[in-house]
Structure 1
Amino acid sequence: MRHALLLLALIAAPAIAQDPPPAPKVAAKADDIPPPNVSVTRHTGVFGGQRVAYTATAGETYLKADDGTPRAAIFSVAYVKDGRDPNRPVTFLFNGGPGSGSVWLHMGAFGPKRVAIPSDARDDGAPPYPIVANPDSLLDVTDLVFIDPVGTGFSHVLGKTDAKDFYGVTQDAKSVAQFIRLWLNENGRWNAPKYLGGESYGTTRSAAVLNQLEGTYNDVSLNGVILISTVLDFAAGADTPGNEMTYILNLPSMAATAAFHGKGGFAGQPAASVVAQARTWATGPYAAALLKGNALPATERTAIRRDLSRYTGISEGYLEQADLRVTPGRFYKELLRDRGLTVGRLDSRYTGKDFDAAGETPDNDPSFYGIDGGYTAAINAYARGDLNYRTDRSYVTIGSLGGSWDWRLGGGRDNDVYMNVAPYIGKALRENAGLRIFVGQGWYDFATPFFAAEYALSRTGYDPARIQFEYYDAGHMMYVRDQDRAKLTRDIRAFIRGR
């Protein structure tokens, strides 16, 4: 949340007067903080075709300072199969933002219950939203722990702790890694196969947490990392003047979207076929043309403009005015302008109508406001109902932490201006022979384009034999489409079983 501006009052006083020194910051005593709020319930369900009896533990875990003072309460929901097996796989899951609770993966993809919103890219409308059994949940192959980092979900700081102590790539990763170690202690699971999974910024977090778990002498070794809608190299995908890579990496997503909506030279063709051609053209003729800049010959410019129009469905006149470089924000508005529609950022299958059809960029993202009401209602109803979790706190589905987030990785100026956590994954692959990476991407995702994920994980220093890519006919949250939720969970089941 944005803090209100502080108004400073200037008080007249003699020149020799001095303000009293600020009162020292007193740490909260453990005695002043109530014990963690926890609810334990028992359930059964059918997942992956198997009936599973399981215990759900919804509640807080306190992260403590070295002196034992509680600093933050991490809310999590753990689903553990009854007849506890210390060698059964366990998967830790979270979403992104930064500032997003784990509701999306929890109530959309992998939890034992899910919210049933429209599967065909339509708005989720108004309540009540059906909360139904989820036979696609992964509970048949792994225990599940959904984590809400500080500032998300029901998680919060305690006492006098400054929330900003947790708001940063490394700070956040350290707190999640601390939680995982505590959970392994309390549940006797140190020798169990372990998986880490995140979506969106949660993939950034996954790489940073992987580094915290395996990058020290007191390792927590992992069997796999599950990356869903991946963003690792923030510099390559930045929509910043002078960065040509962003146009190259977004081009295949534009081509798939244009074809889906019946635009361009590939209208109606399957996404996989369209993007295969778009990848080749983007890294070949288009990249060469962009790198030539103002030295691009007129004849070559004409050919590039023609082909760019075929791939993107945008008119040659507009592309000429844009100097052959169309940002995603402009694409969302321009592609279907003749129909009075915009396309979504998270999922470009969705369309919306703006107040001003002549505007430069969309008013909002129809693929977000098309799903947010259902998920927010579902997690609050489910947590307070099935999980019997009692709290006065409001669940933070999406919080505005990005503006206060510390994006620096440390280690010198280059790391601070070129934010890329992908090397953490490369290092872990080199130092853990049993580690594998799963990457799931939607064709219609502009928040974390699939080609950018491929680019980040195909640089030197990565073992391609241990990185598995899977693709889905939806967008950022591919599991909102029923067929892709089923495919995603089948793919991850196979990934976990294949260790």
Structure 2
Amino acid sequence: MRTLLAALMVMTALPALADTPAEEPAKEAEARPVPDPVMFTSKHTGTFGGAKIAYTVEAGETYLDGEDDKPAASLFTISYVADKAGSDRPVTFVFNGGPGSASVWLHMGLLGPKRVVVASEADADDGAAPYRMVDNPESLLDVTDLVFIDPVGTGFSRAIGEGKDKDYWNEAGDGGSISDFIRIWITRHKRWNAPKYIVGESFGTTRAAYVAKQLTTGDVDIALNGLVLISQALDYEGSTSVHDNVYSYVTYLPSMAAAAQYHGKAGQGIPQAEFLAAARAFARDEYGPALWKGDRLSEAERAHILDRLVYFTGLDADYIETSNLRVLMPRFQKELLRDQGVALGRLDGRYLGDEADDIAETPVADVSSYAVGSAYSALMNQYLATDLAVDMDRPYMVSSDAAGEQWDFRDVPEGEFWEPHYLNVGRQLTTAMRRNTGLNVMVANGYYDMICPFFDAEITFARYGIPQDRVAMTYYQGGHMMYLNEGARLALMSDIRTFYAGQLQDARPD
């Protein structure tokens, strides 16, 4: 009706428009002025990995040119460079995901010289200030320089001149800007012959895959030594819990089992490894085939699948039956502990949120996000202003809703034929690894990650022709940001150090 009404309004306006002199074409908007890039440099010392390191922090802007060779984007990055770094000292480029997230989480939660402290056991939220920031002796600064990248539209990064943020909110623009920055950084710091690594989290692992491919196949060949993929998201079919995506019911089932066991609803008295191995086998060998049969399941087959789903998920049989043997992850979050009036977190199923609406189908918000977000935002801004003496005239965008909402997930240029499909960069990682036989990959998984399930990681990395002998899969007692748990953080940092030393072994079950 709205479309029809609009058409009628245009038709009735035509005679009047015919009598009106044509207006001159609107003048093109003038480009915004481009100020000089800013850079804040400071000297620091710290002890990392048992070694005392003197280092320089370079926090500032790098301008990237557009097609007309004029500055079109400004990337704000924070580089930690050892004062005695030689040309062969490794360098690691770090970013988070979203899309639309700044690098604050990996920066202040895992890798930087300072870190934010939140409740390790997910038994309390961050509340209100003051929050606690401590030294991070586990940081990798004794092993590698660290460069934290905030993509366009996040942190202090933005489009400038005639550039537009949306030009970079797609695979080509995002990957091109990150790749250009890496080339510029290693050129300025004379690190072309240094080992190079990327650490990405969540959508940052998606980005890491297509950046690795672009660096390997682009006009300027830059070969990476390693990727650390935290909470991988290469194939979105396995991490998108929606109706009729049969594949996702299979990939999410073992994560549901892990959370149910953690909260005492399933698998009691059974070792976690044994319980999750059984959940994997059921999901792969029985549940998947049953879903493909659908309504053609016999009564006996249906009863068996129902019984096993109750066993692994801890949910009531009537609820599973009413769900037609298909429980979406958001519903599981709300249903598992509904009798206690709490909902599970999505990023981390260990967290429990006491929501006002106990009858709702799904959680109102993600407790595992809002339970830590205020502390990270406050301490990142405090750290920038005090420790790094950064003085900017705009807010630091920890998370950009605009980037997430307006991100273009097309994987072909505008104008080319394209049908909607799940985002998948598995083949891009394959290309990067097969063209660069020195590229190794570590994949870190949280058992209680309810958005990027660990079983999906196992299935994804067994497909697409990814060289298996150069992939190390690891697991932790945490969620999407497993480093929020103190034990998981220490284990993850130990594994990353071992990976950099070329010694990490794959921990995937047989």
Assess if the C-alpha contact under 8 Å between 1:258 and 1:267 holds in 2: no
Secondary structure at 1:471's aligned position in 2?
Answer: strand
Query: What whole-Å deviation, never above 9, does each CA across 1:35-82 have from its counterpart, x for those lacking one?
Result: 111111111111111111111111111111254411111010000111
Q: 1:261–1:267: 8 Å Cα contact kept in structure 2?
A: no
Secondary structure in 2 matching 1:459: coil
What is the match of residue 6 of structure 1? none
- 1:388 and 1:128 map into 2 onto residues whose CA distance is 20
1:245 alignment partner AA = Y
- Please list every run of 5 or more consecutive structure 2 residues that lacks an aligned counterpart in the other structure: 1-8, 504-510
- Alignment-derived partner of residue 463 in structure 2: 459
Alignment of 1:396-475 (within 5 A): 396-400=397-401, 401-410=403-412, 416-475=420-479
When normalised by structure 1's length, the TM-score is 0.94
Shift in alpha-carbon separation, 1:359–1:416, aligned structure 2, 3 A: closer
CA-to-aligned-CA distance 1:12-51 (integer Å, 9 cap, x gap): 95523223312124445xxx32211111111111111111
Decide whether aligned partners of structure 1 residues 380 and 433 sit closer, same or farther in structure 2, where only a CA change above 3 A counts.
Answer: same
Partner-residue secondary structure (3-state), 2:237: coil
The structure 1 residue matched to 2:147, chosen from 145, 148, 161, is 145
Counterparts of 2:357 and 2:165, CA distance in 1: 39
User: 1:55-74 alignment to 2 at 5 Å?
Assistant: 55-74=56-75
Given candidates 160, 166, 169, the residue that maps to 1:167 is 169
- The reply to whether residue 476 of structure 1 matches residue 476 of structure 2 is no
Q: Is the 8 A contact 2:209 2:426 kept in 1?
A: yes
Q: Is contact 1:259–1:268 with CA below 8 Å preserved after alignment?
A: no
Moved more, 179-188 or 392-401: 392-401
- Per the alignment, residue 96 of structure 1 pairs with 97
The alignment partner of 1:236 has SS state of: helix
2:224 to 211, 222, 225: 222
User: What is aligned with 2:215?
Assistant: 213
Counterpart selection for 2:26 from 12, 22, 33? 22
- Deviation of 1:418 after TM superposition, in Å, equals 3.7
Residues 410 and 418 of structure 2 are in contact (CA less than 8 Å); yes or no, is this contact kept in structure 1? no
How much does 1:415 deviate? 7.3
Instruction: Work out whether residues 260 and 268 of structure 1, in 8 Å CA contact, stay in contact via their aligned partners in 2.
Output: no
Extract unaligned runs of 5+ from structure 1.
1-8
1:76-108 deviations in Å (ceiling 9; x for gaps): 000011112110110000000000000000000
2:202 aligned to which of 200, 215, 228: 200
Partner of 1:43: 44
CA distance in 2, matches of 1:335, 1:484: 24
Deviation by residue 1:381-414 (Cα, 9 ceiling, x = unmatched): 0011101110121111111122211101118757
- Report deviation, 1:160: 3.0
Contact 1:260-1:271 within 8 A present in 2 as well:
no
Q: Distance in 2 between matches of 1:108 and 1:175?
A: 25
| Aligned residue number for residue 132 of structure 2 | 130
1:217 shift after superposition: 4.3
Partners of 1:417 and 1:262 lie apart in 2 by 38
Distance between the aligned counterparts of 1:391 and 1:484, measured in 2?
Answer: 35
Q: CA deviation at 1:171?
A: 1.4
TM-superposed CA distance for 1:116, in Å, is: 1.2
Contact 1:52 1:139 in 2 (8 A): yes
Paired residues for 1:159-308 under 5 Å: 159-264=161-266, 266-267=267-268, 269-308=270-309
**In the TM superposition, what is the alpha-carbon distance from 1:268 to its structure 2 partner?**
5.3
Partner Cα distance (1:381, 1:194) in 2 = 30
Alpha-carbon distance, 1:247 to partner: 0.4
CA–CA distance in structure 2, aligned partners of residues 450 and 14 of structure 1: 61
Residues in 1 aligned to 2:495 and 2:417: alpha-carbon distance in whole angstroms: 39
Residue 507 of structure 2 corresponds to: none
Q: 2:339: which partner in 1?
A: 338
Deviation at 1:428, TM superposition (A): 1.4
Structure 1 residues 14 and 222: CA distance shift in structure 2, 3 A: closer
Tell me the SS of whatever aligns to 1:190: coil
Provide closer, same or farther for how the CA distance between residues 270 and 146 of structure 1 changes in structure 2, counting only shifts above 3 A.
Answer: farther
SS at match of 2:256: helix
Measured in 1, the distance between the counterparts of 2:168 and 2:430 equals 25
1:461: how far off? 0.7
Instruction: Please give the per-residue CA displacement for 1:409-462, whole angstroms capped at 9, x wherever unaligned.
Output: 118757752420011111111111111000001000012111111111111411
Cα distance in structure 1, aligned partners of 2:272 and 2:283 = 16
What amino acid maps onto 1:172 in structure 2?
A: D
Instruction: State whether residues 409 and 416 of structure 1, in contact with CA within 8 Å, keep that contact through their aligned partners in structure 2.
Output: no
Q: For residue 235 of structure 1, give the secondary structure of its aligned residue in structure 2.
A: helix
1:295 Cα deviation from its structure 2 partner: 0.5
CA distance in 2 between counterparts of 1:303 and 1:34 reads: 68
Give the CA deviation at 1:218: 2.1
**1:100-153 deviation line (CA, Å, top 9, x unaligned):** 000000000000001111111021111111111001111111110000000011
For 1:244 and 1:176, the matched residues in 2 are separated by 34
Distance 2:203 2:73 in 1: 21
Name the SS of the counterpart of 1:220 in structure 2: coil
Give yes or no for the alignment of 1:154 onto 2:156.
Answer: yes
TM-superposition CA deviations, 1:453-487 (whole Å, max 9, x none): 11111114111110001100000001111111111
What secondary structure is seen at the aligned counterpart in 1 of 2:236?
A: coil
Which amino acid letter does the alignment assign opposite residue 299 of structure 1? A
One-letter identity of the residue aligned with 1:247: Y
**Higher mean Cα deviation, 489-498 or 64-73?**
64-73
Q: Which amino acid aligns with 2:376?
A: Y
Distance 1:387 1:274, change over 3 A: same
CA offset at residue 270 of structure 1? 4.2
Compute the displacement of 1:235 (Å). Answer: 2.5
- After TM superposition, the score normalised by the length of structure 2 is 0.92
Summarize deviations over 1:363-388 as a string: whole Å, max 9, x none. Answer: 11111111000000011000111011
Number of the residue aligned with 1:4:
none
Residue of structure 1 in register with 2:317 after alignment? 316
- SS of the aligned residue for 1:248 comes to helix
Q: Within 1, Cα distance between the matches of 2:418 and 2:272?
A: 37
- Structure 2: which amino acid aligns with 1:168? N
Distance of 2:17 and 2:393 partners within structure 1: 48
The SS at the match of 1:458 is: coil
Q: Quick check: 305-314 or 156-165, which moved more? A: 156-165
How far apart in 1 are the matches of 2:185 and 2:204? 19
Q: 1:449 corresponds to which letter in structure 2?
A: P
Question: Separation in 2 of the partners of 1:436 and 1:414?
Answer: 32
